[in-house]
Structure 1
Amino acid sequence: MSDGAYTVQTVSTAELPPAERAGFWSAHVSGSHCRLDCRFPRGGDFLGGATRQRGGPYQLIDFWSERVGYSRTAGQARQEPDEDYRLLVPVDGGLTLRQDGAEVRLTSGTGGLFTPAEPFELVQDAPARALVLTIPAQEVNGRLGRRTPLSARFDMTTGLARVVDGMIRSAYEERDRLSARQFEVVCDRVAELMCMVVDADDRPGAPGHLAEVEAMVRRFVRANAADPDLTGATVAHRLGWSLRQVQLALQHAGTTPRELIREERLRLVRDRLRSPRHRHRPITELAHASGFSSASALSTAFRHRYGVSPRELRAAAFGEPSGRPRPGRA
């Protein structure tokens, strides 16, 4: 246990002249974390703020800002090594984390674990607020006996991860009432529990893990069903998991990535066929707009799933004769 001092410091660019804000924020972020580059959407008039807690080997930062992008290059990682992990927990808004060929979208209710020992990008495309906890590398690697996968993403709304989320938020909320020893003890427990979350998440056969992956995959596929390039591999890449993890989770639920994508596309077409807003759109146009390669491919899959053709379902929905096509309809 460290006997080092415990400090709480708050900064804000609002207190500076507009022309100095971007430069100040760049220096502040590099000084608080590691050397990296910042990309700002407009000039130097940038609004952002942060509260930094430090005690022993840990630091917890609550930050908020307007749009901004961060990147750490291979040269920066090589010249100024930093092996410690960062646990990023969004509070409001969202951030996109890219590292080691993977991309994960982090929003409230999720968390991301990564290390600046490797190049990364962190993109905030709208105003956002998040908590980021620095965890010493030995606290992670020692407990797991290896390095954890980069850019790991976790559901922080259930199970042990929810406990971790609550502890991090409480440590920030009680920042002015904690001693150095208390802060370090809390962070030690968070590191220990987070390793348990990582270890459980790495066991693809764990029922709890499979259910969480399945739920997230289903939400993602439903939101992106119209994308004609959507596949199991792209779903896995966008969510930050391996294709095998996605396949196992859906297999446990009795389906496959391909079947799930087809099912969500058919549901999308069915809903549009019943909607007055899409009543006059040709079936061919609906097929392409819903991710199908052609109207015939849609018709075959639709009849197999619902027992009627797209045209017949639309006619029934609006009380029209199914054999009399509306002018302009494919």
Structure 2
Amino acid sequence: MDDLLGGPPTRAAAYRLVLYRADRAGPATAAHAACTEGYRFLLPLHGELLLLQDGREARLSPGTGGLAAPAAPLRVVQRRPARALVMTIPAHEVDGRLNVPSLPVTGLDLTAGLGRVVADMVRAVEEERGTLSEPQFDAACDRITELLCLVLAGQGRPPAPGHLAEVEAVVRRHVREHAADPGLTGSAMAQDLGWSLRQIQLALQRAGTTPRELIREERLRLVRDRLRDPLYRYVTITDLAHASGFTSASALSHAFRRRFGVSPRELRRHAAPR
């Protein structure tokens, strides 16, 4: 039986994806651990799991999901045979997107909408993980985490007016497509899209971010993807900085270390073929 809280990693890196199986029915079983490596996203495939953490509980069954926060001890109770996919996500990948550190265990509806998309992607990565290279696995997990954070950002807030939801979606797509443009700002984006800067600010405020933070986040992710890409292996950090919208290599290195906990050179060295 794979360990729900640890288990054999798919690869020796920050993201992990394991299959937890408890094939025998019987008395309640429990597992205790502090998720020091990052958040744990749990996706039940069969049976039922009860997660207890930090005074909160979530009863998970197929169609739902849970997020266990780092550090706080986690207890998992299972009374019947159960199977679940467990994805470990580096803490900074969630905290950096939501600006809300150490979220508690959270019950999520994965039966429809974006939640269903997240669940389908996790299952697909599990099925194909034997064919994915390390950069491909990382890229897939990055996208899953991004969408999961959008689901989490929508928890506990009233539905947004349709227009603001549309503005947010279009703005995110625009920033992703133009992140490398050094002239990309909130004002320039408003002019390009034909909306007021205030409209854009209100739409992004719902998701806990600002135009400036969103642009910086997308540029940092762009640099990270390029550092992992063999095609950019011989591009200098300075050239990568300018090509990704940063004013200098030092500005990139400072922001990159704050966001990911390593320097661009360290990440490139880790991602280099062995």
Per the normalisation by structure 1, the TM-score is 0.44
8 Å contact kept, 2:66–2:107: yes
Summarize the Cα distance change of 1:137–1:187 in structure 2 as closer, same or farther, 3 Å threshold: same
Q: Which residue of 1 aligns with 2:13?
A: 56
CA deviation string 1:66-119 (max 9, x = no partner): 3531123xxxx4xxx715100000000010011122221100000000124102
Summarize the Cα distance change of 1:64–1:193 in structure 2 as closer, same or farther, 3 Å threshold: same
Summarize the Cα distance change of 1:130–1:166 in structure 2 as closer, same or farther, 3 Å threshold: same
CA deviation string 1:253-302 (max 9, x = no partner): xxxxxxxxxxxxxxxxxxxxxxxxxxxxxxxxxxxxxxxxxxxxxxxxxx
Which one has a bigger Cα radius of gyration?
A: 1
SS at match of 1:169: helix
Higher relative contact order (CA 8 A, sep 6+): 2
The unaligned stretches of length 5 or more in structure 1 are 1-11, 13-27, 34-49, 209-330
8 Å contact kept, 2:19–2:86: yes
Q: Which residue of 2 aligns with 1:70?
A: 31
Residue 145 (structure 1) aligned with residue 79 (structure 2): no
Summarize the Cα distance change of 1:165–1:202 in structure 2 as closer, same or farther, 3 Å threshold: same
Q: Which residue of 2 aligns with 1:125?
A: 79
How many pairs does the alignment contain? Answer: 158
CA-CA distance at 1:176 after TM superposition: 1.4
> Match for 1:151: what amino acid?
V
SS at match of 1:54: coil
Bigger mean CA offset, 88-97 vs 112-121:
112-121
CA deviation string 1:220-239 (max 9, x = no partner): xxxxxxxxxxxxxxxxxxxx
Equivalence map 1:136-215=2 (5 Å)? 136-147=90-101, 149-206=103-160
8 Å contact kept, 1:51–1:63: no
Runs of 4+ in structure 1 displaced over 2 angstroms?
A: 204-208
Equivalence map 1:1-330=2 (5 Å)? 29=3, 33=6, 52-54=9-11, 56-65=13-22, 66=24, 68-72=29-33, 77=34, 82=36, 84-147=38-101, 149-206=103-160
CA-CA distance at 1:54 after TM superposition: 2.0
8 Å contact kept, 1:58–1:187: yes
Overall identity of the aligned pairs, in %: 45
Per the normalisation by structure 2, the TM-score is 0.53
> Match for 2:56: what amino acid?
A
CA RMSD of aligned residues (A): 2.4
8 Å contact kept, 2:70–2:91: no
> Match for 1:29: what amino acid?
D
The unaligned stretches of length 5 or more in structure 2 are 163-274
